[in-house]
Structure 1
Amino acid sequence: MTTKLSTPIGSDLAAPPPSRALSSWRAGMWSLPEVRWAAIATVLFAAGGISQLAGAPAWLWWGLYLACYAAGGWEPGLAGVRALRERTLDVDLLMVAAAIGAASIGQVFDGALLIIIFATSGALEALATKRTEDSVRGLLNLAPEQASRLSPGGREEVVEAAVLQVGETILVRPGERIGADGQVLSGASAVDQAGITGESLPVDKQPGDEVFAGTVNGTGALRVRVTRPASETVVARIVAMVEQASATKARTQLFVEKIEQRYSIVMVAATVALFALPLLWGTPVQDSLLRAMTFMIVASPCAVVLATMPPLLAAIATAGRHGVLVKSAVVMEQLGTVTAVAFDKTGTLTEGRPHLTGVHVLPDAGLTPDRLLALAASAEQDSEHPLGRAVVAAAHAAGLPVTQAHEFASEPGRGVRAHVEGLHIEIASPAHLLTGSEDTRPARLLPRREDGGVGPHGADGGVGRLVDELQGGGHTVVVVRVDGVPAGVLALADRMRPGTAEAVAHLTELTGSAPVLLTGDNPRAAAKLAAEAGIGEVRADLLPEDKVSAVHELQAAGWRVALVGDGVNDAPALASAHVGIAMGRTGSDLALDTADAVITRDEPATVPAVIALARRARRLVMANLAIAATFIAVLVAWDLFGDLPLPLGVAGHEGSTIIVGLNGLRLLRDAAWRRAAGTRESRTRTRR
């Protein structure tokens, strides 16, 4: 008799963190000096324009325009002067010089317009960076500043959370935020971990369970032993990633900065030539200066510089809001070039813990599957082994009675034994229970044959064949023996994460190649998981160095590989891959430190989503560069071979700066993530 559990016990649901209030974001926006000065400069410019149109005295609107110069131009001007001290030529200084040149020939309105648009461009970039940081930080419930520390004698004192040391014990009362990463020593409670792991429901915590700083305790009191100092908590590591992402620039941006110096020198030389050479042929000074200033404005590469960062930073912010922490704009750029994805198995595509999948009762055992499971769960209820916990959880979930066991004993590496309702129950691996027993009491449940066999199905009642079949299918098997006689087999397996098959299909469609499974697990378990997920190529029984070799082989074949893993054994391969992606909830410290990106909610579906988002960001970068280059080429040609008015040159070139900036910020919308995360069917419906 066999019972298959079609729905394994215990499902984890992950929900996105709540959205941050718009008013709060606006308050943070005005804390940026670039935004404040750009706003002040805009108000002064508008006041000057209104005064000029209203026929006010010239000194009034001239004064307002010059104040606009000061408000919007002092910061880039100061940055340019500092760059000159280091013998470099900054594009910011060129813009300020062009505006001053325009004012010197009476075009104060045009110079002020240039200052406004340039200041607005800088504010947009600062705003994108700010939103990146805020969006990622918004995923977290930051740890409290104080915690209740317990002395060895039990005395309680309130201390700063930052001074807690590894090994110390803290008391967390109901409703409080946990002050440090640690392990529960005593107490039981449900902890809200949504800010860290994205789980929508509180997680039950018992002694021995891990808890995270910043999560919210439920109704029970917990005593927690600190396992990490404040600087190394999950919260601290993620915040460090934010700082790194804000400080690092993409390769395309660095390339622009490399050519910016040479380009600026050429532009200055050309500007001087455009001013000086026409004077030799009798051109009036004002006309020659106006043409030179117009050329300096339209040829300045500010739009090219701004074309790169906003799309990448906006993509980082959007990915952060949806559970993917990308450590830098460089990584976001590299994600967009991935052509093959390799997955680890345990803890990455699976949940990393066993679940009961089937209860198999031997013929003539005289038991029902429910009765066998109830006896096994009763014997296992005091066990700390993951397999034992899975059996007990399955019995509770099925509503079966779990009675008190007596004379419980656990043998490390073997299994457990106990007396339940007068029966001697043994649970262990087939290798231990099918090779004889020291228990000599008579069997109560299975009739023995004269030849020593059990029942009519062979010397072992058919249990050996059943074990082989289940193990061949990738299951972990334990045998239940009742009064010294095998009575049944429990099949357990690590459960595949929800959405894995869909993620694999999406990646295959996105990259044009099916993902590869690289695992240290046995080939049978790996093949079973691969078949369920839709993965074709499987490499099993791999040591850490074997995984590195596998990644190098894929790279040698021309693939740009993203590796997704979670364990210490994945760290070398994560470092070797084009992009390393770690599972944030189950990932080891070493894996999190080595990886280029972290999936905070352990959802495989976010892997194709972030790759698709990165590809769209790269396309926007290319589009922005094309827009900026086109504007520059057209306006420079117009100025050199025609008569380009300065106001039109300012509006055209600096307007292109705003266009590329706003174009990049389109990725900040949640619709960008939904589009990236959509399956083929949902994208088809969207197009229709």
Structure 2
Amino acid sequence: MATPTSYRLHIADMDCASCAIKIETAIKRLPGVSDIEVNAGSGLLSLKLDEDRTQPSDIAARVKALGYKPVEAGEGHSGHLHSHAHGHDHDHGEAWWQGTKAILAALSGLLFALAFAGSYLFPEQEGLFFTIAAALSVLPFMRRAVAGAMLGAPFSIETLMSVAAIGAIIIGESAEAAAVVFLFAVGELLENVAAGRARAGIKALVNLVPRTARRETPDGQIQEIAAVELAVGDVVQVRPGDRVPSDGEIIEGRSQLDESPVTGESVPVAKDVGAAVYAGSVNSDGLLRVRITRTAADNTIARIIHLVEEAQQTKAPTARFIDRFASRYTPAAMVVAALIAIVPPLFFGGTWHVWIYRGLATLLIACPCAMVISTPAAIASGLAAGARRGLLIKGGAALETLGHVKTVGFDKTGTLTIGKPQVTDVVALAGLEDAVLAKAAAVERGSSHPLGLAIVQAAEQRNLDIPNAFGATATAGKSVRARLRDGFVDVGSPRFAEEAGVLDEAARVKIDALESEGKTVVTVISGNKLLGLIALADTLRDDAADGMQKLQNLGVKPFMLTGDNARAAKAVAARLRLDFEAELLPEAKLAKINALKERGPVAMVGDGINDAPALSTASVGVAMGGGTDVALETAEAAILKDRVVGVAELIALSRATLGNIRQNVTIAIGLKAIFLVTTLLGMTSLWMAILADTGATVLVTANALRLLAFRPKV
């Protein structure tokens, strides 16, 4: 049996959650299709396909049968699935007024206008003119309704609208039938336009990456090529005012770079040789030579776009509940409308014409579109708004949970502090200081931990001869061990040294003195002998205190969990006025987080390097990593601008999104309730009834779009 292949397909005119449900239901029936995800927010269908059982063309044909247009990325023609590796292209090649929905709205409007003009000139033929207009206008929607019913989605909005329009023609209300179809077509067009606006945030990210790059040839010439042709290792020239064409590393030059496309931080960042630069960043003033480290399909912005798209596909709990509710609600609404039409005339002497008319109006009011779109529209806008501000959230579930968080745990090193500690003291207890530092640097040379990097940097700054080390192994939270030419050397915490039995009273006194100054101390052990101590100090992030205050303003309690020594932790906690627990091994951190989770949702914030277990255990893991791989991949949310206040902004964004969802649900249900009462009292006409759904859908979508302009007020 063939291995299923992952495919993705852009679908034009798919702009609401009910469209997505209909497509998903139809595709599920094909053999060999699995893992279907339909994302109305980005207009994407993704699935796994066994091509021995179903061909890609069958998927495209089924999408077409439902009245939608499959479009391959970057092309203007339809009918092709494409592999995920083909990259990102969110422009389907046509403006909203060129789409199918715009054409249907224009045609139904023209037919309605012609019928109106004909009835004015020939009043006795008014019924005939409007019947023809209504019948012709409803045909495309009837075809979609029939196709949906045959493919497993009988209770679509097209079904409700078609039944109502045909029923109105049969009872002699053809003018209202024509008006209903026209208003429905206009409503669908407005949804389409609004959905396009919601996708604009992601399109804007795509457009920030330049299309061309100035690549250096082996003979030193400059060659202008398409940015997508860049390969890892290529050297490009980035002039002042240019955007960086892909992720890379500066090999010559220095400049200020505006990294707001990636981090949301508008203040330019000074960059020098060796610094990483991100695709889309704007070079302010100096000529740079940059070695490319990622291709166009894999650069930071491409990965952000991919993660936001995936996040939009991950339904929030509220959205899943509403989807389940809508699947039962629509057939129930059709039964209620039928009862309204039949029961009063049969049992209470009502007039058939009057109650059939009211039943048809109820059918139109019952359309679930506004209710179904209320949550995903808000979630999609919230995710896009966050991405614009360097707040990356991987899914509606995480976005919802953040709004309910009452406690936030912070790692210390690299999160509340800058994460670039510097060696302040080297204490030799046996031999020379330089020898102690050189051996520690040899053990830590392959480490990515901030303390290890600082030790290596200090040895290099002293121009020490760092010996070769072999077979380095780490014990989380305790030590790193490697074999040098004269034996094994351990670099570890004072606790590790105590457990190894190598600390004497003089060493304990010295460790206490250094830790009382808020420094972190590591021990260097060779065999069973303590060679010396290395003390390191880190500096708090500039906005750490502000970040703690903003969380407290939101009613959220921050606390610090660190593996560092209690004295260093106490010094930081005192400055930030927060509770803390120190000297925690990874399993102790997990136990603390699990205990806190029993009282409510807990967020854990770490640098994404050594905090993966804690991040994954928390209700929501938040990584601070300035666009690094780890920050993007480890947790459910990432703060790309490396600012502590970003945590409060995440929570504020989540709460704004949850508030928007509540408003949307209120609008959708409230309008339906009002119109249902007025319909039963005979105060609502058919064309007003369609506004109960179309109007609510447009209001809900417009309300959700307000989130795109989100500015955190914390």
> TM range, normalised to the smaller chain?
0.5 to 0.7
1:503–1:605 contact (8 Å) kept in structure 2: yes
Structure 1 CA distance for aligned equivalents of residues 630 and 273 of structure 2 = 25
Q: How far did 1:341 drift? A: 1.6
Residue 88 (structure 2) aligns with: none
Residue 618 (structure 1) aligns with: 658
CA gap of 1:303–1:202, structure 2 versus 1, over 3 A, is closer
CA gap of 1:46–1:494, structure 2 versus 1, over 3 A, is farther
| 1:227 equivalenced with 2:293 (yes/no) | yes
Aligned residues: 547
Letter in 2 for 1:328: G
Q: How far did 1:239 drift? A: 1.5
| 1:550 equivalenced with 2:550 (yes/no) | no
CA gap of 1:132–1:217, structure 2 versus 1, over 3 A, is same
CA gap of 1:69–1:194, structure 2 versus 1, over 3 A, is farther
Structure 2 CA distance for aligned equivalents of residues 90 and 51 of structure 1 = 33
Structure 1 CA distance for aligned equivalents of residues 232 and 511 of structure 2 = 45
Structure 1 CA distance for aligned equivalents of residues 401 and 280 of structure 2 = 32
Residue 312 (structure 1) aligns with: 379
Residue 351 (structure 1) aligns with: 418
Q: How far did 1:61 drift? A: 11
Residue 500 (structure 1) aligns with: 544
CA gap of 1:530–1:637, structure 2 versus 1, over 3 A, is same
- Structure 1: which 5+ runs fail to align? 1-24, 359-383, 391-404, 414-463, 479-489, 679-688
CA gap of 1:183–1:617, structure 2 versus 1, over 3 A, is closer
CA gap of 1:92–1:254, structure 2 versus 1, over 3 A, is farther
Residue 532 (structure 1) aligns with: 575
CA gap of 1:665–1:172, structure 2 versus 1, over 3 A, is closer
SS in 2 for 1:306: helix
Residue 149 (structure 2) aligns with: 84
Q: How far did 1:143 drift? A: 3.0
Moved more, 632-641 or 182-191: 632-641
Moved more, 283-292 or 490-499: 490-499
Structure 2 CA distance for aligned equivalents of residues 70 and 570 of structure 1 = 63
Q: How far did 1:581 drift? A: 2.4
Residue 582 (structure 1) aligns with: 623
Q: Equivalent residues in 2 for 1:458-477 (5 A)?
A: 471-475=515-519
Letter in 1 for 2:363: M
SS in 2 for 1:308: helix
Residue 13 (structure 1) aligns with: none
SS in 2 for 1:296: helix
Q: 1:222-265 deviations in whole A, cap 9, x for unaligned?
A: 44333223322111111212322444443322222222222222
- RMSD of the alignment, in Å? 4.6
2:215–2:225 contact (8 Å) kept in structure 1: yes
Moved more, 596-605 or 138-147: 138-147
Residue 417 (structure 1) aligns with: none
Q: 1:620-645 deviations in whole A, cap 9, x for unaligned?
A: 32343344334434544555576755
Match of 2:393 among 307, 317, 326: 326
CA gap of 1:588–1:178, structure 2 versus 1, over 3 A, is closer
| 1:262 equivalenced with 2:306 (yes/no) | no
Structure 2 CA distance for aligned equivalents of residues 341 and 29 of structure 1 = 45
Structure 1 CA distance for aligned equivalents of residues 367 and 257 of structure 2 = 55
SS in 1 for 2:463: strand
Q: Which has the higher contact order (CA 8 A, sep 6+)?
A: 1
Residue 667 (structure 1) aligns with: 707
Structure 2 CA distance for aligned equivalents of residues 296 and 194 of structure 1 = 49
Structure 1 CA distance for aligned equivalents of residues 162 and 172 of structure 2 = 16
Structure 2 CA distance for aligned equivalents of residues 659 and 175 of structure 1 = 41
Q: How far did 1:515 drift? A: 1.3
CA gap of 1:508–1:111, structure 2 versus 1, over 3 A, is farther
Structure 1 CA distance for aligned equivalents of residues 127 and 544 of structure 2 = 64
1:327–1:597 contact (8 Å) kept in structure 2: yes
In the superposition, the TM-score normalised over structure 1's length comes to 0.66
Q: How far did 1:29 drift? A: 7.6
Letter in 2 for 1:612: A
SS in 2 for 1:554: helix
1:183–1:209 contact (8 Å) kept in structure 2: yes
1:161–1:180 contact (8 Å) kept in structure 2: yes
1:124–1:661 contact (8 Å) kept in structure 2: no
2:263–2:389 contact (8 Å) kept in structure 1: no
1:566–1:583 contact (8 Å) kept in structure 2: yes
SS in 1 for 2:420: strand
SS in 2 for 1:87: coil
Q: 1:48-103 deviations in whole A, cap 9, x for unaligned?
A: 79859x945567998689769977x7776565444312222223431343234334
Letter in 2 for 1:409: N
Residue 609 (structure 2) aligns with: 568
Structure 2 CA distance for aligned equivalents of residues 256 and 321 of structure 1 = 28
| 1:166 equivalenced with 2:232 (yes/no) | yes
SS in 1 for 2:251: strand
SS in 2 for 1:495: coil
| 1:236 equivalenced with 2:310 (yes/no) | no
| 1:217 equivalenced with 2:283 (yes/no) | yes
Residue 294 (structure 1) aligns with: 361
CA gap of 1:616–1:118, structure 2 versus 1, over 3 A, is farther
| 1:632 equivalenced with 2:697 (yes/no) | no
Structure 1 CA distance for aligned equivalents of residues 217 and 381 of structure 2 = 47
Structure 1 CA distance for aligned equivalents of residues 145 and 182 of structure 2 = 17
Q: Equivalent residues in 2 for 1:478-497 (5 A)?
A: 493-497=537-541
Q: How far did 1:561 drift? A: 1.6
SS in 2 for 1:348: helix
Q: How far did 1:562 drift? A: 1.9
Q: How far did 1:572 drift? A: 3.3
Letter in 2 for 1:300: C
Structure 1 CA distance for aligned equivalents of residues 566 and 139 of structure 2 = 66
Q: 1:572-618 deviations in whole A, cap 9, x for unaligned?
A: 33333322222251x54133123233323223223223322322332
1:139–1:320 contact (8 Å) kept in structure 2: no
2:184–2:690 contact (8 Å) kept in structure 1: no
Letter in 2 for 1:519: T
CA gap of 1:63–1:477, structure 2 versus 1, over 3 A, is farther
CA gap of 1:92–1:210, structure 2 versus 1, over 3 A, is same
Q: 1:503-522 deviations in whole A, cap 9, x for unaligned?
A: 2223234245x112233444
Letter in 2 for 1:551: I
Q: 1:267-315 deviations in whole A, cap 9, x for unaligned?
A: 2233344445566568665344313212212233333223323333333
Match of 1:253 among 319, 342, 350: 319
Q: Equivalent residues in 2 for 1:116-131 (5 A)?
A: 118-119=184-185, 121-123=187-189, 125-131=191-197
Match of 1:410 among 460, 464, 482: 464
SS in 2 for 1:325: strand
Structure 1 CA distance for aligned equivalents of residues 303 and 286 of structure 2 = 28
Q: 1:383-430 deviations in whole A, cap 9, x for unaligned?
A: x9869999xxxxxxxxxxxxxx9xx733549xxxxxxxxxxxxxxxxx
Letter in 1 for 2:660: L
Residue 515 (structure 1) aligns with: 558
Structure 2 CA distance for aligned equivalents of residues 589 and 355 of structure 1 = 24
CA gap of 1:136–1:505, structure 2 versus 1, over 3 A, is farther
Residue 648 (structure 2) aligns with: 608
Q: 1:103-126 deviations in whole A, cap 9, x for unaligned?
A: 443434544554455455545554
1:338–1:511 contact (8 Å) kept in structure 2: no
Letter in 1 for 2:148: A
